[in-house]
Amino acid sequence: MSSGDPINGLQTSGVSNFNFQPAVGVNVLLTTVNAWGNYSQIYNGADFGILISPALTDSTDKQNVKIIINNTNYLQMRPSADGQFYSGIEM
């Protein structure tokens, strides 16, 4: 993959965290994150910052975002029976 390529991921349902951790040296600009009723967060393996909280969003929990992730600080979605997805662009 190269700069400007689209990045998409989908998990239809799950019982474990759904992580998107780019390869070392790769940065990705996330543009949309959909958590479907659960938390999405930026995670570094130990600490996290909540990106989407179901208590703060509408019923779909879809957010248009502009946040850069990399191999150190990456996207983690908590388990959801309804599925979840993300979309972005490799920088």
* Residues 6+ away with beta carbon under 8 Å from 59: none
CATH number of 6-90: 2.60.120
Mean pLDDT on 64-84: 87
Extract the tokens encoding 73: 């600080």
Quick: pLDDT tens for 27-57.
Answer: 999 998 887 777 888 999 999 888 776 655 5
Report the pLDDT value the prediction gives residue 74, as an integer from 0 to 100. 95
| DSSP letter assigned to residue 4 | T
CA–CA gap between residue 52 and residue 90 (Å, rounded): 21
Q: Which two tokens stand for residue 49?
A: 């910052």
pLDDT band at 63 (very low <50, low <70, confident <90, very high): confident
Place of tokens 């689209």: 6
Is the pLDDT at 85 greater than 80, yes or no? Answer: yes
3-state secondary structure of 55: helix
Tell me the percentage of the chain whose pLDDT exceeds 90.
44
